[in-house]
Amino acid sequence: MGAYTIKEWAPAERPRERLQAVGPSALSTRELLALLIGSGQVGRSALDVAEEMLQRADGSLRRLAARPSAELLQVRGVGVAVAARIAAALELGRRLAREGPLERGRIRGPADVFERCAPALRDLLHEEFRVLLLNAQHAVVREILITRGILDASVVHPREVFREAVAESAAALILVHNHPSGDPAPSPEDREVTRQLADAGRIVGIPVLDHVVVGDARYVSFVEAGYLVPG
């Protein structure tokens, strides 16, 4: 197959024509990646490039999405423009996955927080600490990134969190961060950060409703676990 370009294939077998004829859901992951890649190189089609890309990620889009764009450049046939297209497409997929809870309205509990935030957080190789700012109906007004890296009370300053909350006239907020290990069990540092921010929220009148730790396919809610009493 690698000796021929996709243009030399029968029209019914080309990914672009197949997408137009049967829709994107009928295409394999390799074919969809090939459409983003666009073209291969001499003796190597876009499908061949896509196949190698998937093999390097053990066939997993989640593993592919978790890796830095620079790793894509190690695949023969992938340049800066192709790597950027694939990174952009994977990020669009994350954002699409996050829109569900917003369309249903307010955040009703930690499961809604997990559904909203997990697509962006669960595959990261580093920790990210985010805050969901809520209105009086508990709908998300804004999601803000506070810090990247190991979560520690010394680097998460209440003033940064509540400055944004006051500016957005938030009625309440929810803390969210991920554990790259996949185990969402809160650490002592997680508890200390939560305590500091909950205390600050009581002072300024913007309560911390929960802290949700995102793992791989599961989460821990501080409220459900009894670590935090809202308000």
In angstroms, rounded to a whole number, what is the distance separating the alpha carbons of residues 198 and 230?
Answer: 8
What are the start-end ranges of the E strands in the chain? Answer: 128-134, 140-148, 172-178, 208-214, 219-221
More confident: 207 or 6 = 207
Rounded to the nearest 10 degrees, what angle do helices 188-204 and 158-167 cross at? Answer: 40
Question: How high is the pLDDT of residue 118?
Answer: 93
Q: What is the CATH number of domain 107-225?
A: 3.40.140.10
Tokens at residue 38, please? 């666009």
- pLDDT tens per residue across span 90-136: 888 887 777 654 444 589 999 999 999 998 898 888 899 999 999 99
In angstroms, rounded to a whole number, what is the distance separating the alpha carbons of residues 213 and 178?
Answer: 5
Query: Sign of dihedral through CA atoms 96, 102, 104, 110?
Result: positive
% helix, strand, coil for the chain, step of 5: 50, 15, 35
Domain boundaries, the chain: 6-95, 107-225
Long-range contacts (CB closer than 8 Å, 24 or more residues apart) made by 97-105: 101/140, 102/139, 102/140, 105/137, 105/139
Query: Could you please report the per-residue DSSP string of 167-222?
Result: HTT-SEEEEEEE-TTS--PPPHHHHHHHHHHHHHHHHHT--EEEEEEE-SS-EEEH
In the chain, the amino acid numbered 196 is Q
pTM: 0.62
Tokens at residue 71, please? 């790793």
At 6, is the secondary structure helix, strand, or coil? helix
- pLDDT tens per residue across span 9-66: 555 567 788 888 777 877 889 889 998 988 777 677 888 899 999 999 888 888 888 8
Block residue for tokens 């709908």: 139
